[in-house]
Amino acid sequence: MGSDDIFHKRRARAAAELNRRRSVRASYDKVLIVCEGEKTEPLYFRELIDYYKIHSANVRVSCDCGSDPVSVVNHGIELYEHEKRTGSGPFDSVYFVFDRDAHPNYQQATERLNNLKHQKPFFSANSVPCFEYWLLLHFTYTTAPYSAVGGTSAGAAVLKDLKTYWPEYAKAGHGTFSATLSKLGFAKANAKRACTEADNNHTDNPSTYVHKLVEYLQELKNPKSE
């Protein structure tokens, strides 16, 4: 009987926690953001979420996965399926934030997402060569391609260009979103322009789709009517 009591108490606690999560969640979309980086990208999006006062129960930012794009995609799919099974309601949107840079399985990850996104709410917020290209677009518009030269990676080349405009920038640093907030509109326009140019030139170097996730989060509490 003692073990039965413990079992029922645990079930009661689990049910109470589920009800609590349901009650505190706001009426807008429930979102999962899965990041490749352990600090830079999660810190950026968590600060954005705080700035726009998006309810923490509505958005989960996860970086508990490997650093390569396929690991990011696999982890996000697992979290999505798990959330459906818990009974707390599935995520309305799942965004994957990852870079190409020197990852050999970048194309594999993007192809898997392309195959899945028509069936489930999966979206890519990928950058080529890296997330810092999105930050660079806050200061200037450029579509000069980046590539590894000698011992310098394409990502390191972007970082060097970014630091010409923002010498204090440091990966995994706090305050990246707030430091670039005043230039956000400029960056979004530049990112859209860069993606269009990349499509017209049949390339993806450089490009970034981070702006799509940013705009989605900005509009999350006040979605546009269909």
pLDDT score recorded for residue 224: 63
Q: Is there a cis peptide before residue 167, judged by omega within 30 degrees of 0?
A: no
For the record, the structure tokens of 181 come out as 């907030």
What span, in angstroms and rounded, lies between the C-alpha atoms of 70 and 130? 16
pLDDT score recorded for residue 66: 73
pLDDT score recorded for residue 1: 47
Please say whether the beta carbons of 169 and 43 come within 8 A: no
Please say whether the beta carbons of 28 and 223 come within 8 A: yes
Q: 180 Cβ partners below 8 Å, 6+ apart?
A: 135, 138, 187
Beta-strand runs (E) in 75-177: 93-97, 122-124, 127-128
What span, in angstroms and rounded, lies between the C-alpha atoms of 41 and 63? 9
What span, in angstroms and rounded, lies between the C-alpha atoms of 4 and 20? 24
Residue 122 pairs in a beta bridge with 94
pTM: 0.86
What string of pLDDT tens digits covers the 226 residues of the chain?
A: 454 554 455 455 544 444 444 546 788 999 999 998 779 999 999 999 999 999 999 999 999 887 789 999 999 999 999 998 886 789 999 999 999 988 889 999 999 998 887 778 999 999 999 999 999 999 999 999 999 998 899 999 999 999 999 999 999 899 999 999 999 999 999 999 999 999 999 999 999 999 999 999 999 998 764 4
- The dihedrals phi and psi of 41, each to the nearest 5 degrees, come to -70, -45
- Counting beta carbons within 10 angstroms of the beta carbon of residue 7, is it exposed (0 to 12), middle (13 to 18) or buried (19 or more)? exposed
pLDDT score recorded for residue 83: 92
pLDDT score recorded for residue 17: 43
Please say whether the beta carbons of 59 and 49 come within 8 A: yes
Q: Write down all domains in the chain, each with its CATH number in brackets.
A: 26-218 (3.40.50)
The one-character DSSP state at 99 is B
C-alpha atoms less than 13 angstroms from C-alpha of 115 in its C-beta half-sphere = 8
**How many residues are listed for the chain in this entry?**
226
